[in-house]
């Protein structure tokens, strides 16, 4: 009575993590700090509550599934402003749909592109970055496609290797859709304009849908990441063919609970998405659309948000410089740390260190293997890593990273410019003084 495709899904990463630490108790006297979930802990802008209250009379009205004109216009205005799009690039009536958080819509996207398992031969393919966001895999599997995991390692710039993908002609022939996350989760890698141009060309040449998840596109360190619509607009004709791009207020505006995002792109795909979602009925309430429109219209709170994240990465560099392949990502709010030296004999170092970090330092962090699929050679290239979400206020992040540095120091792990058993000169003391 249950769809057998569900059995093809891996356990959700956070369920696996809860099972990992289920019987462990954190040390007494240390306040627990959770860096597992990418849920911003900064306060949402005050305008959210104000606009919701001002539109309270609309709670008793069904929402239009294609959004209010005001919502769609706010999304187009923001896209045009943020990415320098020529006027008219995105038609608010044909190229925009509200979604109840991009997670829902990213999961549904393969249902638009996958035409089902053929009677003979290999199934349709959906290409995923590896590490990947779990709804990508869920959508592919439930649509009847084979998820094909493209390793994103330091050697590939933490993005899928487009040359390697195109070299596999059989894969290109059966691909229905490719997910691309830029800035990437968890590495914070940014696809530049040349990369996005190549990805668009691949999708159009081989006739598949390019789904670009840009939900971290407003959280960057120095340079604003380019967007796929901005690149498409600069190509011949400026068409949006084969493209869907997803944006959300969860990270940009610290409004994860608002469940407000949108999908933009190819008008033919948007029309199909609208048709599909009318059967599910996951509409965004009118007061929420009004609050979302107000947030998309305001950039000042986003600049303040970025400044907070920069302070957290300053703290990370102070605490972990020279350790665990620590790199300051150009965008996003995660650390992707190589912890293999802290558990050199463990088959899954990230999992072993995650257990220790909770049991010995009361810090929760997600093992990299829970976000990564093993390759054809059976090796899970995320197993050496730990993902930390820097979502708390800077002083809380500083405390968590000081505990991690102490854990690394207790194992005698050397760092550049530091003696074995200790943090980089002054780092631990800086963290304590910062509290």
Give the relative orientation of helices 300-320 and 394-410 as an angle to the nearest 10 degrees: 20
pLDDT at position 415, please?
40
List, for residues 313-328, the tens digit of each pLDDT value. 999 998 898 888 889 9
Low-confidence ranges of the chain (pLDDT < 70): 116-119, 410-435
List, for residues 257-302, the tens digit of each pLDDT value. 999 999 999 999 999 999 998 887 778 999 999 999 999 999 999 9
Residue 10's contacts (CB-CB under 8 Å, 6 or more residues apart) are: 134, 137, 373
- H-type alpha helices, 64-161: 69-83, 102-113, 134-142
Task: Check if the beta carbon of residue 229 is closer than 8 Å to that of residue 12.
Answer: no
CB count in 10 Å sphere of residue 12: 13
pLDDT at position 423, please?
30
Strand partners, 212: 180, 245
Rounded Cα gap, residues 73 and 90, in angstroms? 10
* pTM for the full predicted model: 0.90
Phi, psi of 150 (to 5 degrees): -100, 110
- Tell me the two tokens of residue 8: 């093809």
DSSP string, 249-264: HHHHSS-GGG--EEEE
Torsion of CA 35, 38, 43, 49, to 10 degrees: -150
Between the CA of residue 72 and those of 79, 267, 310, what are the distances in Å?
A: 11, 14, 31
Rounded Cα gap, residues 382 and 129, in angstroms? 12
Quickly tell me which residue has 């141009």 as its tokens: 197
Q: Indicate the DSSP class of residue 207.
A: T
Task: Check if the beta carbon of residue 421 is closer than 8 Å to that of residue 409.
Answer: yes
Give the relative orientation of helices 427-434 and 300-320 as an angle to the nearest 10 degrees: 140
Quickly tell me which residue has 């914070």 as its tokens: 188
Rounded Cα gap, residues 148 and 137, in angstroms? 9
- Tell me the two tokens of residue 262: 């949108």
pLDDT at position 410, please?
65
- H-type alpha helices, 45-101: 47-54, 69-83
Task: Check if the beta carbon of residue 99 is closer than 8 Å to that of residue 262.
Answer: yes
């Amino acid at each position: 009575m249950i769809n057998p495709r569900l059995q093809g899904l891996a356990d959700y990463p956070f369920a696996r993590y809860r099972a990992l630490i289920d019987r462990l108790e954190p040390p007494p006297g240390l306040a627990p700090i959770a860096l597992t979930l990418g849920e911003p802990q900064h306060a949402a802008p005050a305008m959210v509550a104000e606009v919701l209250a001002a539109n309270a009379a609309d709670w008793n009205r069904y929402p239009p599934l294609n959004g209010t004109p005001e919502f769609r216009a706010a999304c187009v205005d923001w896209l045009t402003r943020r990415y320098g799009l020529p006027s008219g690039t995105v038609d608010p009536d044909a190229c925009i749909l509200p979604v109840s958080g991009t997670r829902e819509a990213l999961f549904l996207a393969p249902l638009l592109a996958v035409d089902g398992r053929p009677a003979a031969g290999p199934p349709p393919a959906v290409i995923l970055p590896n590490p990947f966001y779990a709804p990508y895999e869920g959508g592919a599997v439930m649509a009847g496609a084979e998820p094909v995991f493209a390793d994103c390692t330091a050697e590939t710039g933490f993005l899928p290797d487009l040359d390697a993908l195109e070299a596999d002609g059989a894969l290109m022939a059966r691909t229905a859709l490719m997910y691309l996350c830029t800035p990437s989760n968890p590495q914070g890698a940014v696809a530049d304009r040349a990369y996005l141009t190549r990805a668009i060309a691949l999708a159009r040449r081989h006739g598949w849908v390019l789904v670009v998840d840009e939900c971290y596109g407003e959280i960057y360190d120095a340079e604003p990441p380019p967007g796929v619509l901005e690149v498409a607009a600069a190509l011949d004709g400026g068409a949006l063919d084969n493209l869907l791009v997803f944006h959300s207020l969860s990270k940009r505006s610290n409004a994860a609970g608002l469940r407000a995002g949108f999908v933009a792109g190819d008008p033919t795909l948007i029309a199909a998405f609208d048709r599909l979602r009318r059967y599910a009925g996951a509409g965004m309430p009118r007061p929420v659309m009004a609050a979302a429109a107000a947030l998309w219209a305001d950039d000042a709170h986003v600049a303040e948000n970025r400044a907070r994240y920069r302070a957290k990465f300053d703290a990370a560099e102070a605490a972990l410089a020279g350790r665990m392949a620590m790199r300051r990502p150009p965008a996003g709010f995660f650390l992707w740390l190589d912890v293999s030296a802290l558990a050199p004999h463990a088959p899954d170092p990230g999992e072993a260190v995650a257990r220790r970090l909770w049991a010995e330092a009361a810090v929760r962090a997600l093992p990299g293997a829970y976000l990564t699929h093993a390759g054809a050679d059976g090796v899970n290239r995320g197993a050496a890593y730990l993902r930390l979400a820097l979502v708390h206020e800077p002083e809380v992040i500083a405390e968590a990273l000081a505990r991690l540095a102490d854990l690394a120091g207790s194992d005698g792990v050397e760092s550049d410019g530091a003696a074995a058993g200790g943090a980089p000169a002054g780092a631990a003391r800086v963290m304590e003084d910062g509290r």
